[in-house]
Homo-oligomer: A and B are copies of this chain.
Amino acid sequence: MPSIATIRLNPNDNVVVAVTALEPGTEIVAEGITTRDAIPFGHKVSTKPIPRGTPVRKYGQVIGVASEDIAPGQHVHVQNLAFSDLREEADAAPVFEAHERPRTFLGYKRANGKVGTRNYIGVLTSVNCSATVARHIAEAAEKSGLLKDYPNIDGIVPITHPSGCGMAVKGEGYDLLTRTLWGTGANPNFAAVLLVGLGCEMIQLARFKQEYGITDSEHFQSFTIQDTGGTKRAIAEGLARLKTMLPAANAITRTPQPASELVIGLQCGGSDGWSGITANPALGNASDRLVSLGGTVLLSETPEIYGAEHLLYARAQSPALVEKLRARITWWEEYTAIHKMEMNNNPSPGNKAGGLTTILEKSLGAVAKAGTSPLVDVIEYAEPVKKHGLVFMDSPGFDPCSATGQVASGATMIAFTTGRGSAYGCKPSPSIKLATNSEVYRKMPDDMDLDCGTIATGGATVEEKGAEILDYLLAVASGQKSKSEELGYGDMEFVPWHIGAVM
């Protein structure tokens, strides 16, 4: 039972957020108002008269304009709040202070110096036409007991997708898909990768290997179904190749590694009115802690930060990064315009039911999970991450697609906030689920890793929850299974961003 009725996020706001469903006529003493409408859990209620055409403020930022006169105590949502391009200058870039003692985790240090949190073998596919063979190789390897002699190997992961042919053999779509495929194969959570093609697809194995500088070794092998003589022989060939790769993959063990070697992909999905109030600020706090230790966090989901990008510009370490991010925003405006979609139209039916009215409001809450650290780099989808600190990786907001890009960029873990209750899980990079409200945490106990809803009821501060998230990230990085790993997620969630026509 919460001891408060509403949360005020900023002294300058003219709305507050209901902590429980409020009946009409409920007095909110702290705000000196009485509700005029029913206010659903997580939704906004006005605290001042807001004349039609004037700004509605949350987080101290403009989230839209009143589409009709709003009186104090009224429910503020789609019926009286409209998207607006009004943006005030962001405050000066926040001061970031390191405050963490040195921390370590038990990781797998690879030959190239990168550090993994898991030790999988991947079966990568160039095309949908080799997906069944890849899956059958992985299943046959698991069922045959082949892995029993190799206890340090976490499993065989088929990486399958619906593309790889019926596409242009050059250009943005080709580059994006091949970069995603090889980025995933090169993730430090894979000890070794077997690449299986059909043979006649647009993504030709020889060219792919040449373009990405991939050479055969005990860590990488490849072949095609057509060269091998069909499905049965390809599965047998795959098992034979795997056998030659298992000893080296098994030889590596976990050793203490500095937290600076962690790369965490930040995600939110199935957001609600709480996401930006509880879990995202708590994850932001954990992000700041990890960055202070020299670690890396990837903020992504460009359509979900749209409208709040000025906050990131203010934190960029150089004007060149501002221009790079601005260029991506422009790219997105053109991409969506070509497809007759709107960047300002992002909240899903679930988001709206949860109390988010406009894209700006959602975006301010989404950016909160990146904390307050300076922005040290801006990279494209699936481009290898090179710097330590807060990095922006461009991607769609669609969770599995965005996380696939982060893993291809090098994320060895995913931290995922959710209000409605996501069921996402990932291989090879474990994903932890942070509930934005205690109700979803209780409702989906087998899926949610941590409950950030206690922030809304006074059970924990953002700082305490941030510390707990960092501890948990380090524990999972060291081998403790996340909830989604326990449930067996990760074989169906490889979703490369698809750009371009299907031919």
Contact = CB atoms under 8 A, between A and B. Distances in A.
A interface, size bucket:
35 or more
A339 B235 CA distance: 36
A225 interface: yes
A425 B132 CA distance: 9
Contacts of A234: 423
Contacts of A345: 168
A200 B401 contact: no
A421 B130 CA distance: 12
A99 interface: no
Interface string A387-398: 000000000111
Given A161-B162, A225-B421, A350 B201 contact: yes
A148 interface: no
A226 interface: yes
A482 to B, nearest CB: 13
Interface stretch (A24-32, A61-69, A443-451): A443-451
A251 to B, nearest CB: 31
A223 interface: no
Contacts of A135: 491-492
A498 interface: yes
Contact of A230 (B173, B233, B443): B443
A501 B349 contact: no
Nearest to A339: B501
Interface string A487-498: 111111101011
Nearest to A272: B200
A213 interface: no
A396 B491 CA distance: 27
In the complex, which of the residues A303, A349, A445 has the most CB atoms of chain B within 10 Å of its own CB atom?
A349
A157 interface: no
A171 B398 contact: no
Given A200-B270, A202-B349, A229 B400 contact: no
Nearest to A503: B303
Contacts of A351: 200
A230 B128 contact: no
Contact of A423 (B167, B225, B447): B225
A306 B76 CA distance: 54
Interface in A400-432: 400-401, 420-425
A165 B398 contact: yes
In the complex, which of the residues A234, A335, A348 has the most CB atoms of chain B within 10 Å of its own CB atom?
A348
Given A132-B488, A160-B492, A303-B503, A229 B444 contact: yes
A338 interface: yes
Q: How many copies does the complex hold?
A: 2
Contacts of A424: 129
B128 A400 contact: yes
B420 A199 contact: yes
A503 B423 contact: no
Contact of A488 (B129, B136, B165, B173): B136
Contact of A502 (B270, B401, B501): B401
A357 interface: no
B501 A130 contact: no
A447 B199 CA distance: 14
A340 interface: yes
A132 B489 contact: yes
B231 A401 contact: no
A333 B482 CA distance: 48
Nearest to A500: B339
A336 interface: yes
B399 A200 contact: no
Contact of A503 (B336, B350, B487, B493): B336
Contacts of A499: 502
26 contacts: A129-B400, A129-B423, A132-B423, A132-B487, A132-B491, A136-B488, A166-B397, A166-B399, A173-B339, A198-B270, A198-B422, A200-B270, A200-B349, A200-B351, A200-B420, A202-B349, A226-B270, A226-B420, A226-B443, A229-B445, A230-B445, A231-B444, A231-B446, A339-B500, A396-B502, A398-B502
Interface of A: 128-133, 135-136, 160-162, 165-169, 171, 173, 198-202, 204, 225-226, 229-234, 269-270, 303, 335-336, 338-341, 345-346, 348-351, 353, 396-401, 420-425, 443-448, 487-493, 495, 497-503
Closest 8 CB pairs of A and B: A166-B398, A200-B350, A230-B444, A131-B492, A200-B420, A339-B501, A200-B270, A162-B495
